[in-house]
Structure formats: structure tokens, C-alpha cells
Chain A
Amino acid sequence: MRHKKIELWLSNGIDGELSERKKKFLESHIRKCSSCRSYAENIQRIHEEAKRLESPEVSPVYWEEFTSRIRKEIYSVKKEKPQGKALLLRWKWAWAGAALSFVIVTGLFLYLTQNKTPQELYVFSFESSLARIYQEIGSDQELEELFNSVISASIGENLEDSGWGERPDFYENLILWEDLTEEEMRFLESEIKKNNKL
């Protein structure tokens, strides 16, 4: 157990991520322990060799061409933009219309069935719902696994229905993951890893 921790510290030490106190402890341990000393020498050697691996030289012409290709593509995107914007606006109106219809229908429903409806209406965002679920699950590992498998199954089911045939790529959706907290991101990552069997 102790050696495993030593190995972790040795790795951190190579990256310059170790406190002075731990460094001193490591030095004295390595003097006494031959297996840790040998491991330290090996990973240090690997680190130095890896540092010596050099990427191929790329000519300045390549970079000039690369930059001009990007500029060209940006200008072609810019040309297409007005059309895209109009389309986006139409979509926005469509969403607004749908939301308004939903509010009217819900309002009517609540009005007509007033006696049967709960007194308060709760509106949860995705983040607060997730946080609430986590709170409820607590440290119950079995419940957490069940919850995760239900989510995986649900994603799979929806995908089958939509006929996409491929799992969603959370990573590619910048808008989604830039706004997520680290905890939510870790949760999504673990789900993706499970699905991809990394």
C-alpha cells in the first residue's frame, strides 16, 4: 500500500508537483528501498526519453497555408450567416410559439381541474434537478448504480426512437459543457466512459 503511494509521489515529483516535505520523505525512503529506487530510475528515464522525442519539423509554408485555409473557411461561413440567422430567428419564433401554446394549454388545464392540482408548481432546471437527485441518492452506491443504468437505458431508448443510430457526443456540444459544473461534467464523463467501455 505504502509503495503505491510512493510511486504516485515519484510521478508527481517528476512533474514538479511535490511539496518540499514530501520530497525529503521520498529521498530518505528511496535510499532505503531498492525496489522504489529502481522504479524511480525507470520512470525518470522514460520521462527523459519522452522529452527527447521530437515532433517532425513543419515548414513555415505549411502554417501560412493552414492560416489562409482557416480564413477562407471563415469567410465562407460569414457569407452563409445571414441565411442561417433568419432560419435561427424563425426557429426562435417557433419555440416561442410552442412555449406560449404550452403555457396556455397548461393554464387551461389547471383552471379546469383546479381541485385536483397541487397547490404549488415547482420548476426545476436541469442542474438543480441533478443536484437534488444526487442529494437524495447520498452515499448509497447501489442506488447510484441503478440510477446511472436507468439513465443509460433511457438515452439508448431515445436514440433508438430518434433513429440517430449513434450515441450523443456531449463533448462536441460546447454550449452544454461550458456551462456544466465540474461535478456534472464528471458524471457525464463517467456515463460516456461506461457507454464507450474505455
Chain B
Amino acid sequence: MNENMSDFADDHLVKQAKQGDVDAYTELVRRFQEKIYHTILSLTRNKQDANDLAQETFMHAYKFLRNFKQRSTFYTWIYRIAVNLTLNFLKRRKRDEKKQVQLEDYSLDVKSAASTLSPEGYSMKKELSEKLKEAIGSLPLTYRASFVLVVFQGMTHSQAAKVLRCSENTVSWRMHKARRMLQQKLRPYLEGE
């Protein structure tokens, strides 16, 4: 494989990939695979689903690459595909009442801050983080998607709006509603400390 691929900008790699350069597309996959996987994992809370959907995202993008007019960046485009595929997948799963999909705990851990706490403080923090994971998982899909992109992926409202194909005000509103819902669910744990 060409070692210099990593020096090229995304736009250049997209143009190369459009002309059939698989190495260029592979470099794009390398650049975005972790972020895409973790975004999907935050939404689905299931490693296998995240793996399948991340793969589907990159294959979908490859098949439609010729139709990508580069009006937005590849970064926005690939996120948009990932989020849309995941939301569709979750909607289908929600509809399918007969299937009992077990949501595995993907073991989000509380970072080092917890290790400096007393055993009591540690268990309270652990409880809050467990409840927080549950509460995020129970947010309506569009709110959850905004929350994941803004809080976990560190996107601005404008970037998230481009991915979600909505206005910045909509993202702002969804973030507010999501926080309100989380606050209502977690209030006992927040006040208990």
C-alpha cells in the first residue's frame, strides 16, 4: 500500500477514490473508522450491531461515492450516513416487538476521577454513571443522536446540524430537551451526594 496516503487531505482522497483508487478509500476508512464505530456504539449500546453498522456505513458510502457531490465535507457525509443507518436500524428494532434484543452493557467506565474517591464515593459515582447510561439510552432517538454527536463526539451545534440535516436551532432545542429529561431522571442521584 502507498505509505504517503496519510499525507493527503480528505478531499484529495475522495477524488482518488471516486476514480477507483481503493487505497485512497481505505485511508479514508482508517481515518474515520474509530469515530464512526464509537458514535454508533453510543447509539446502539451493542458491540456487534456497532461493528455491523460501521461496516455497512463504509460500504454504503463506497457504493454511493460517485453521487457524493462534495458540497459538504467527507467527514460530515460519512457521519450523516452512519447516523441515518443507525437511526433506521433502531427504529426498525423498536418496531419489531417480537424480537427481544438484549442490550449488552458495553462497559463504559468512569475515568480516573473515580479511582481517587473513597469506597462510598466510588460506589455512588458508579451508580450515577450506570443510571446516566440508562437514561441516555432511553432518550428519544433524535435527542440521543444530538447528544451523542455534541457531548461524546465534541461537535458544535452547526456540525451536528449538518450531520442530522436539521437547523442549528433544532439541535440546540434537542440538546435542551435531552438535558431536561436526563435531569428529571437523575435528580435523586444528583441530590443524594
Contacts and interface: CB of A to CB of B under 8 A. Distances in A.
Contacts, number: 146
Contacts of A94: none
A185 B165 contact: yes
Of A11, A46, A54, A66, the most chain B CB neighbours within 10 A belong to A46
B54 A46 contact: no
A12 B172 contact: yes
Contacts of A42: 183, 186-187, 190
Prevailing SS type, chain A contact patch: helix
Of B106, B133, B176, the most chain A CB neighbours within 10 A belong to B176
Contact of A198 (B58, B107, B110, B140): B140
B132 A46 contact: yes
Q: Give the size range of B's interface with the partner.
A: 35 or more
A182 B69 CA distance: 16
B26 A67 contact: yes
A83 interface: no
B81 A74 contact: no
Interface string A8-36: 10011011110000000000000000000
Contact of A70 (B59, B64, B71, B108): B59
A198 B88 CA distance: 12
Of A7, A50, A75, the most chain B CB neighbours within 10 A belong to A50
Given A75-B22, A186-B166, A196 B95 contact: yes
Given A43-B183, A71-B22, A53 B88 contact: no
Interface in A83-142: none
Interface in B2-53: 20, 22, 25-26, 29-30, 33-34, 37-38, 41-42, 47, 51
A39 interface: yes
Contacts of B106: 55-56
Interface in B63-78: 63-64, 67-69, 71
Of B33, B109, B165, the most chain A CB neighbours within 10 A belong to B165
A164 interface: no
Contact of A67 (B30, B59, B175): B30
B138 interface: no
Interface of A: 7-8, 11-12, 14-17, 39, 42-43, 45-47, 49-56, 58, 63, 66-67, 69-71, 73-75, 77-78, 169, 171-172, 174-175, 177-178, 182, 185-186, 189, 196, 198
17 contacts: A15-B150, A15-B175, A39-B183, A42-B190, A49-B129, A54-B108, A54-B110, A55-B38, A58-B34, A66-B51, A70-B58, A73-B59, A77-B63, A174-B60, A178-B71, A182-B166, A182-B167
Given A42-B183, A55-B42, A74-B59, 13 more contacts: A12-B172, A15-B156, A43-B183, A46-B179, A51-B151, A54-B109, A56-B107, A63-B33, A78-B20, A171-B84, A172-B85, A174-B60, A178-B69
